[in-house]
Amino acid sequence: MFAIMTNETTGAVEPQVEKKVRKASKETRRMQLIEATIDSLAKRGYSETTMADVADGAGLSRGIVNFHFESKDKLLVATLQHMAEEYAAHWRGAVAKAGTDPASRLKALVSADFDRGICSRRKLAAWCAFWGEAKSRPTYQALCGARDEHYQDLLAELCGALIAEGNYNLDARQTALGLDALLEGLWLRLMLSNGKMKREVALEAALSFLSAIFPKHFASEGANQEVMK
């Protein structure tokens, strides 16, 4: 594509291509810095992470960090926004692939929390770092809160559909809240276990909980046979 869009007379790269290259380079640098920020949060925690740590971790100059983000606060906000968008896109994609059956959609939603790309120790540690600061930082609350609201609404909707189908004596919102708390608790347990607890074990616990509250929709043996991606 680049060769076609060069000037046939001079061989110079056309401005449109140069612009695309610069844009790609800028986005690549931003992602390098965001990934390095996640690594630093996982290794050092929130307060000990510095712009210098991020630059060194990304293998870039400190001037590059300042050029893209200007301050540590802007870098951290961008990192949290990236993680929130990545997480939302992941669970939405998993639910979309599950089709229209409420039980299949709920299982996909729960299972998505324990996929390797989302549920890694470094990302869990980074999430915990942000959660620890969210109380005093409205921007963090807004980013995490928006994700929680949409997730909770879908969770309640799916729980409500299963309650209606199975005639369970449950409240949809309360059930969704309890399930959401269980998933967050399993994430926290995974992070604090220092590798001793595996994603497979956490997923099995979550699916076993589904079989306990919705026994007409989820068989216990099915939960135990779930295959991790």
Shared domain check, 167 and 58: no
What value does the mean pLDDT take over residues 105-133?
Answer: 94
Shared domain check, 129 and 33: no
Q: Is residue 181 part of a domain?
A: yes
Mean confidence (pLDDT) of the chain? 86
Shared domain check, 114 and 162: yes
Report the SS3 class of residue 6: strand
Shared domain check, 193 and 135: yes
- Reported as a single tens digit per residue, the pLDDT across 7-40 is 544 555 455 544 443 454 888 899 999 999 999 9
CATH number of residue 26's parent domain: 1.10.10.60
Predicted confidence at residue 139, as pLDDT, reads 84
Query: Which residue's entry shows tokens 């790309």?
Result: 117
Q: Is residue 5 part of a domain?
A: no
Shared domain check, 109 and 66: no
Predicted confidence at residue 125, as pLDDT, reads 93
Shared domain check, 99 and 155: yes
What value does the mean pLDDT take over residues 158-174?
Answer: 97
Q: Which amino acid is at 65?
A: V
Number of domains within the chain: 2
Shared domain check, 124 and 212: yes
Q: Which domain holds residue 58?
A: 13-70
Helix or strand run (H / E) with residue 15: helix 15-44
In the predicted structure, residue 92 carries a pLDDT above the cut 60: yes
Shared domain check, 81 and 60: no
Predicted confidence at residue 141, as pLDDT, reads 82
- Claim: this prediction has a pTM higher than 0.85: no
Distance CA 146, CA 150 (A): 6
Kindly state the tokens that stand for 222. Answer: 């099915």
Q: How far is CA 61 from CA 76, 132, 199, in A?
A: 18, 29, 36
Q: Is residue 39 part of a domain?
A: yes
Confidence of residue 138 (pLDDT cuts 50, 70, 90): confident
Phi, psi (degrees; rounded to nearest 5) at 214: -125, 65
What percent of the chain clears pLDDT 90, i.e. is strictly above it? 67
Predicted confidence at residue 146, as pLDDT, reads 64
Shared domain check, 214 and 170: yes
Q: Is residue 215 part of a domain?
A: yes
- Reported as a single tens digit per residue, the pLDDT across 197-215 is 999 999 999 999 999 999 9
Confidence of residue 222 (pLDDT cuts 50, 70, 90): very low
Distance CA 217, CA 163 (A): 10
Q: Provide Rg for the chain, Cα atoms.
A: 22
**Which of 70, 91, 111 is the endpoint of a domain?**
70
